[in-house]
Amino acid sequence: MIPEHSAEPPAGTIRIEDVSWTYPHADAPSLRELSLQIGAGEFVILCGASGSGKSTALRLMNGLVPHFHDEGALTGAVRVDGLATAAAELDEIGLVTGTVLQHPRRQFFADTAPEEIAFAMENFGVPSEEIRARVATALETLAGGVPTGSKLQHLSGGQQQQVAIAAATAHRPRILLLDEPSSNLSADAVARLVRRLGELKARGVTIVVAEHRLRYLQELVDRVVVMREGRIDVVWSAEEFRAVPDADLAREGLRGEPRRVDLPALPAGGASVAEGDGGASTAAGPEAGEAATRALELEGVRCRLGGRLVLDLDGVAFPAGAVTAIRGINGAGKTTLARVVTGLQRSTGRVRLDGRALSPRARQRASAIVMQDVQRQLFTDSVAAEIELAASGAAETIDTREVLEALDLEQLAERHPLSLSGGQQQRLVVAAVRVAGRRIVVFDEPSSGVDRRHLQSISDQIRAVAADGAVVLLISHDDDLLALAADRRLVLRPASGAGAGAERIRKEPV
């Protein structure tokens, strides 16, 4: 922490003094008389329920409040690395800070990973030889999990997060700010993230992370700050935090150790090609013409992006009335599968529902999806209007008030969707999908930005969609959610010899 009476704080420090902030058109402040001091080289986690003010606190530190959100009401003072953020220019703040947003595609300025990593350094006047050396080092670090020659738009959400972290640290800022950095990462990518953050901490970088998942950082963290309704509620030292039982975390609405998930594998029915440790093999699928009823079948589905084979499924059948978890490392083709199933991505092969072939347009009409970046799915000027729009084409009426109440959104019915926190927006799109009454429903990382209390309500809605008779695919790295909501699993992984990035079904034992 910063010494109490330090006249000039050292480099890498953060001071937030008695700050209140209200977003434009919001009914109540997002931050209320917040005071927080973070010392140089300190590693601090900000946690708390969705809407508690974590992301807004990060926006104070990187200057987006008040420079980008310039119509709100701000009182108090913020100093970052000695800069008064309200008076400093954004490029001054950006030179000493690096930020990774929860949905990194919103912060990309270039088309490829090398260009994105170089972008900030070019703007800050780093010599070209030094830029090339730092980009090469960053690409070497990323090589294990990201095809760095691909366009950023063709990468998975988890791969984009990894590029964003590399880009945010390449200009060597003294302060790194991360918003839910593990939300879309597979276990191997989380391990790489922990190693990278450990290296940065060892170099003396000040690190502030807004997170719901806490235990993976417990060996790095110096303090854990729990926020509630825009204020600091509890502060734990590293030692205190490690001693807090998961039951106590749960009472605070926080996540502890993830649950152990042991889902049965999707039955082979329809999966004619599988990959095990010994290479490609033939699985015992149904006889030709033996179409499953009340199921979504994919046969010979292949998809290429930017000339790269990213999905290669010989055959699989997803049953109606059940939740199938789609698993695999970042870049395993999970989101591409979701886009193919819902008719949003061109592919070859055949897709049938209840034995009837469906064109991409027909799949669009029959489908609903919760995307990773749900802000792209909000179209109206209020929460209530968003739900009414979603329910307008449903064959059967679902009590929308009951759904909003279950997801803790009823009191926000008149709020503009873009004024909600990330977790609240996530729950709103889940609510919209629930009332839409579609036959094919895909949830792509629906627990991103969601606290422990709301995880249960989201899983309840996923189960309810399946109970209505829909084919439900749940793409998630969140073991807690899978333990609550999923019936079985399908695992995608890179297929050896099928080309860089190609994916095939991995058949796992039940």
Residue 466 one-letter amino acid: A
Together in a domain, 354 and 245: no
Residue 117, both tokens? 């990593």
Together in a domain, 282 and 243: no
- DSSP letter string, 449-509: T--HHHHHHHHHHHHHHHHTT-EEEEE-S-HHHHHHH-SEEEEEEEPTTS-TT-EEEE---
Together in a domain, 282 and 394: yes
In-domain check, residue 26: no
95-109, 225-239, 243-257, 490-504: which is most confident: 225-239
Together in a domain, 458 and 351: yes
Residue 149, both tokens? 């020659």
C-alpha 388/C-alpha 283 separation (Å) is 45
Q: Please, which residues have CB within 8 angstroms of residue 208's CB and are 6 or more apart in sequence?
A: 14, 38, 44, 45, 46, 58, 61, 175, 176, 177, 178
How many C-beta atoms surround the C-beta of residue 401 within 10 A?
12
Q: Quick one: pLDDT at residue 251?
A: 83
Q: What percent of the chain has a predicted confidence (pLDDT) above 90? A: 68
**Are 208 and 44 a contacting pair, CB within 8 Å?**
yes
Q: Which of 355, 415, 350 is nearest to 381 (CA)?
A: 415
pLDDT-wise least confident of 13-17, 85-89, 307-311, 453-457 = 307-311
Together in a domain, 297 and 226: no
Domain stop point among 251, 281, 307: 251
In-domain check, residue 453: yes
- CA distances to 61, 191, 213, 226, 237 from 182, rounded to whole Å, are 20, 10, 8, 18, 22
- 3-class DSSP state of 258: coil
Parallel, antiparallel, or unpaired for β 175-179 and 206-210?
A: parallel
- 3-class DSSP state of 279: strand
Together in a domain, 236 and 331: no
C-alpha 446/C-alpha 458 separation (Å) is 8
In-domain check, residue 13: no
Compare 283 and 400 and report the one with higher pLDDT.
Answer: 400
In-domain check, residue 1: no
C-alpha 314/C-alpha 306 separation (Å) is 21
Together in a domain, 193 and 287: no
Q: In DSSP terms, which residues pair with 441 in a beta bridge?
A: 368, 472
Indicate if the pLDDT at residue 276 is higher than 50.
no
Write phi, then psi, for 311 (nearest 5 degrees): -145, 135
Q: Please, which residues have CB within 8 angstroms of residue 161's CB and are 6 or more apart in sequence?
A: 100, 104, 181, 183, 184, 185, 189
Domain stop point among 191, 220, 251: 251
Together in a domain, 230 and 285: no
Together in a domain, 377 and 449: yes
Q: What percent of the chain has a predicted confidence (pLDDT) above 70? A: 90
Together in a domain, 139 and 199: yes
Please give the tally of structural domains in the chain.
2
Indicate if the pLDDT at residue 482 is higher than 50.
yes
Domain that holds residue 178: 40-65+89-251
pLDDT digits (tens, 9 = 90+) for 75-96: 999 999 999 999 999 999 999 9
For CA atoms 167, 169, 171, 174, the dihedral sign is positive
In-domain check, residue 7: no
In this structure, what CATH number is given to the domain that contains residue 398? 3.40.50.300
Q: Quick one: pLDDT at residue 53?
A: 94
Parallel, antiparallel, or unpaired for β 348-353 and 295-305?
A: antiparallel
Q: Quick one: pLDDT at residue 316?
A: 94
- 3-class DSSP state of 268: coil
Together in a domain, 277 and 418: yes
In-domain check, residue 137: yes
In-domain check, residue 5: no
C-alpha 480/C-alpha 212 separation (Å) is 12
Indicate if the pLDDT at residue 243 is higher than 90.
yes
Together in a domain, 327 and 242: no
Q: pLDDT confidence of 7, banded at 50, 70, 90?
A: low
In-domain check, residue 120: yes
Domain stop point among 251, 281, 311: 251
**Are 110 and 152 a contacting pair, CB within 8 Å?**
yes
Indicate if the pLDDT at residue 156 is higher than 90.
no
C-alpha 19/C-alpha 233 separation (Å) is 15
